[in-house]
Structure 1
Amino acid sequence: MTINQIFREGHQGLARVACLLGGAVWGLYWIPLRTLDSAGISGAWASALFNLIALVFIAPLILIRLRPWLAGGLQIQLTGATLGLTLLVYSTAFLYTDVVHAILLYYLTPIWGALFGRLWLKEKITPDQLVGIGFGIVGMMVILHIDEGFPWPRNIGDWMALSAGILWALGATMTRRFPEQHTLDIVSTWFLWCTIFAIIAGLLFQGPQSVPDLATTIPVVYWVVPIVVLIVIPTFIAITWGLPQLNPGTSGLLFMTEISVVTVSAAILTDEHIGVREILGVVLISLAGLAEVLLPRLRRVS
């Protein structure tokens, strides 16, 4: 098969690789964001810079595909806006809470994905999904300190991570609901709306005085551009292409690489506490994502 055929018709094996590597790359996404925050580009402006640079480099694709992009109408815009808001909320969460807490609260997506599939796509919630939902809820309670009272998120970062997981499940459901949408159109709309939302959020919540000046921005652009062009854009294209080809259980399993990468990288690069509670949360929420894949295989073996 040629590259064009693979891109147009899909390929199950490569779709799995795309989601596997995509999860691993997303697991390192917090590092440049925190570096930007330390350099004075904080909060939503860090996400705005990343996505604005991506939008500049992907703009030729929008122009080349302008007619089908416009023909996508409200569906493509809603999908892109949902994914764009997901990325903004997810990436900003790392700046306001512990890295491991952010990723674990985000990865309660099996719960929200099953619910959206039932409500919108009329998919039945299977017993295996119920087991996964159970693991996810218990994991969330552990991470949110149920032993100290009702398990509310502790801070704005926790709330953002939890919200990002819900938004990602909604966006993933939309890509399955509208499978005719072209990968490049979704990715370009994704970057566009994330940039718009990030600028609005920065102005509203951080104020006009928080806009990074050129003296702050120019020194970081030299290393942000290669990361965006060589890693971020290809990863987003790969994820958007591969995700609709896989069932939610398989894609959830493959994206679990993100939890491992985040946990290991946070343990090495930060002084955040990763103790028994966090490790137990990793195990429980990983089982939530794996349940739909592992339980059928265990039954076949037995």
Structure 2
Amino acid sequence: MNNWLRNGWPTLAIMLGASVWGMIWYPLRMLAALGVTGTAASALTSGAGCLFVLLVRHRALKTVRWHWLLPALALAAGITNLGFVWGSIHGQVMRVLLLFYLTPAWTALFAHFILHERLTWSGAGLAALSLAGAMTMLWSPRLGLPVPGNLAEWAGLAGGMGFAMSNVLILKTSRVLPEMKPEMRTATIFGGAALFSACASLFEAMPAPPTGAHLGTAAWLVIGLGLLLASNNMLVQYGLARVPANRASIIMLFEIVVTALSAWLFAGETPGPREWAGGVCIVLASALSSWVHRTKVLPPDPATEDVSLADDLDSDRNDRKGGKNRPRAMV
């Protein structure tokens, strides 16, 4: 029983986090219906989340020191957040999410140049599989080239690229700034999303702002979403620190299941055969990516004092603390 609790709670934490991300599009559309644009919703909810983390974990501020990786991470998180929010409000949720999940392709590329990881044939094959899934989903004789068909789908694609870059930069940050607390990375992510979305809102036509009762409802939604998303990120941090990275990546794909069900129930969106076929390829590539890149940790040999094995153990420890499978800065 104790063993189940030790292994079951972290898994449940990741599944709950994935469920929140899979349904977050619905309150975002509620905000849009109240007159809060996608960029404004992203800025306000992310700002609320950042303030919540800083208030709750203010003692961790002393672990932060300046490094160019922090503004880079903030920018990548801003693109991630705004791409998902704007795309899910204005587009078909499942198509936007599947384009968002083309991470195996972008991660392999970014990790090669930033982390100096060798681009293997297996990594290239998984990238090709995920891109083939996207092409299957997007191609039609009427539309021609298999590219996103509207701005919402382009936003989802850009958000996915930002997500992959965020994952790589989180791992880089955990190696370069090992003393920095994970919650400060979360605050950086939310803060970057808030600033980027606030700047983007200057270029978006603003509808009439909500007034009266609608203003109160919008304010409570923004505050509630900020608190929910900040708490959700810290909850998933708890799970990711206690679950092997390859298993965590597969668990996080539960988000796609929740999104598909919620889009069908609340928006009447039913994927067609091409969406299903392309989605299977993308999900399969993500799952296989976790398996291919799993880290095998072996007990050290005291007789040989193998330095390379010690390096591998340090890298695996950093991965588990905050690396490839960190919680994304949703909204």
- Structure 1 length-normalised TM: 0.82
2:155 to 143, 155, 160: 160
- 2:218 — aligned with what? 220
- 1:300 — aligned with what? none
- 1:3 — aligned with what? none
- 2:320 — aligned with what? none
Alignment of 1:1-302 (within 5 A): 17-61=12-56, 63-69=58-64, 71-148=65-142, 149-179=144-174, 180=178, 181-207=180-206, 216-229=214-227, 231-240=228-237, 249-293=246-290
Q: Deviations over 1:139-176 (max 9, x none)?
A: 10122125442112111111110011111111111111
Corresponding residue SS for 1:204: coil
Corresponding residue SS for 2:220: helix
With 187-196 and 13-22 compared, the bigger mean Cα shift is at 13-22
Alpha carbons 1:187, 1:240 under 8 Å: kept: no
Give the whole-Å Cα distance in 2 for the aligned partners of 1:81 and 1:268. Answer: 34
Q: Any stretches of 5+ residues in structure 1 without a counterpart?
A: 1-10, 298-302
Corresponding residue SS for 2:89: coil
Q: Deviations over 1:209-268 (max 9, x none)?
A: 666567643223334434432x31121123456558877644432221111111111111
Alpha carbons 2:14, 2:236 under 8 Å: kept: yes
Q: Any stretches of 5+ residues in structure 2 without a counterpart?
A: 1-5, 295-331
Shift of 1:286: 0.8
Shift of 1:109: 0.5
Alpha carbons 2:10, 2:238 under 8 Å: kept: yes
Shift of 1:296: 9.5
Number of residue equivalences: 284
Letter in 2 for 1:269: F
Alpha carbons 2:122, 2:292 under 8 Å: kept: yes
Alpha carbons 1:131, 1:291 under 8 Å: kept: no
- 1:4 — aligned with what? none
Q: Deviations over 1:15-63 (max 9, x none)?
A: 6554443222211110110111112112211222222322333342475
Corresponding residue SS for 2:85: helix
Q: Structure 1 residues 48 and 214, CA, compared in 2 at 3 Å: closer, same or farther? A: farther
Alpha carbons 2:99, 2:160 under 8 Å: kept: yes
Give the whole-Å Cα distance in 2 for the aligned partners of 1:64 and 1:210. Answer: 40
Q: Structure 1 residues 296 and 244, CA, compared in 2 at 3 Å: closer, same or farther? A: closer
Shift of 1:203: 1.8
Corresponding residue SS for 1:200: helix
Shift of 1:182: 1.7
Whose radius of gyration is greater, 1 or 2? 2
Give the whole-Å Cα distance in 2 for the aligned partners of 1:153 and 1:216. Answer: 34
Give the whole-Å Cα distance in 1 for the aligned partners of 2:209 and 2:80. Answer: 22
Alpha carbons 2:35, 2:208 under 8 Å: kept: no
Alpha carbons 1:243, 1:251 under 8 Å: kept: yes
Give the whole-Å Cα distance in 2 for the aligned partners of 1:176 and 1:247. Answer: 15
CA RMSD of aligned residues (A): 2.9
Give the whole-Å Cα distance in 2 for the aligned partners of 1:283 and 1:36. Answer: 31
- Structure 2 length-normalised TM: 0.75
Is the helix fraction higher in 1 or 2? Answer: 1
Q: Structure 1 residues 75 and 214, CA, compared in 2 at 3 Å: closer, same or farther? A: farther
Q: Structure 1 residues 80 and 213, CA, compared in 2 at 3 Å: closer, same or farther? A: farther
Letter in 2 for 1:182: K
Letter in 2 for 1:199: A
